[in-house]
């Protein structure tokens, strides 16, 4: 299942997403197929990813780009439609119903992170904006004992792009910290990969890297 680590910085954002995803086999509620692929989707103002059932997220993003003209106000509706379609295909399942999205967007002061998550009322979604220095962890396996110190260190030392003299130093700072988190957590959670994709975004640029992390 998807493991996401993201940081909302003063002038930028960083998002890391593992490379393994599972899909429900048709009508077989507890049987999954495993795949290895990027789970980051580009749109004109940044990136979109999510956790839950991959087909729900994939179809939601495709509806958003191909049918909703990338109107960000319509992204929750696209997620709801995608959920309904997937439930007609394989029936109801927690992974489908709990699917949620994380997306970034350019702003005057820097990139911003937002979440679209289901509410207690089925079919209703809420959009929230993350605050400066928020550390976002979305995961399937709640056991984070092995990475708790790493997460505390990352949370206590948020460094925006402007704090580095060279942009490569900014990349290295987060890639090094996040690589260790993914390596450790993948030993605990077999449904995620140690490899990951990482995305950096400022007010006018973005950068993408795939980290094999063997």
The secondary structure of 12-76 as a DSSP string is: -EEEEEESEEEEEETTEEEEEEEEE----EEETTEEEEEES-HHHHHHHHHHHHHTSTT-GGGHH
pLDDT tens, 126-169? 999 999 999 999 998 788 999 999 999 999 999 999 999 999 99
pTM: 0.93
Who has greater pLDDT, 9 or 34? Answer: 9
Q: Which residues, 6 or more positions from 146, have their beta carbon under 8 angstroms from its beta carbon?
A: 184, 185, 187, 188
Q: What is the average per-residue pLDDT within 21-38? A: 72
Q: Kindly write down the DSSP assignment for every residue of 139-208, as one continuous string.
A: -S----GGGHHHHHHHHH----GGG-SSHHHHHHHHHHHHHHHHHHHHHH-TTS-S-EEEEEE-SS-EEE
For residue 214, pLDDT beyond 80: no
Q: Which of 14-28, 43-57, 144-158 is predicted least confidently?
A: 14-28
Q: How confident is the model at residue 28 (pLDDT cuts 50, 70, 90)?
A: low
Question: Rounded mean pLDDT of 53-73?
Answer: 96
- Assess whether pLDDT exceeds 80 at residue 47: yes
Give the residue extent of every domain in the chain.
4-211
pLDDT computed for residue 2 by the predictor: 87
Of the pLDDT bands very low, low, confident and very high (cuts 50, 70, 90), residue 30 is low
| The pLDDT value given to residue 140 | 81
CATH number for the 4-211 domain, one of 3.30.460.10, 3.60.20.10, 3.40.50.12780, 3.90.1300.10? 3.60.20.10
Residue 213 — very low, low, confident or very high, per pLDDT cuts 50/70/90?
confident
């Amino acid at each position: 299942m998807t493991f996401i680590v993201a940081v909302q910085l003063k002038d930028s954002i960083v998002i890391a997403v593992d490379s393994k995803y599972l899909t429900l086999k048709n009508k077989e509620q507890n049987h999954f197929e495993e795949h290895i692929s990027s789970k980051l989707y580009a749109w004109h103002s940044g990136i979109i990813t999510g956790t839950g059932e991959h087909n729900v997220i994939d179809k939601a993003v495709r509806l958003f780009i191909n049918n909703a003209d990338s109107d960000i106000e319509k992204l929750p509706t696209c997620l709801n439609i995608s959920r309904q379609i997937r439930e007609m295909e394989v029936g109801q399942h927690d992974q489908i119903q709990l699917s949620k999205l994380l997306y970034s967007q350019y702003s005057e002061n820097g990139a911003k992170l937002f979440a679209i998550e289901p509410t207690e009322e089925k079919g209703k979604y809420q959009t929230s904006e993350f605050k400066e220095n928020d550390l976002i962890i979305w995961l399937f396996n709640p056991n984070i004992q092995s990475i708790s110190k790493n997460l505390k260190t990352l949370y206590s030392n948020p460094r925006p792009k402007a704090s580095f003299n060279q942009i490569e130093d900014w990349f290295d700072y987060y890639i090094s910290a996040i690589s260790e988190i993914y390596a450790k957590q993948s030993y605990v959670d077999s449904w995620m990969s140690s490899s990951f994709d990482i995305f950096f975004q400022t007010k006018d640029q973005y950068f993408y890297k795939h980290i094999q992390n063997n």
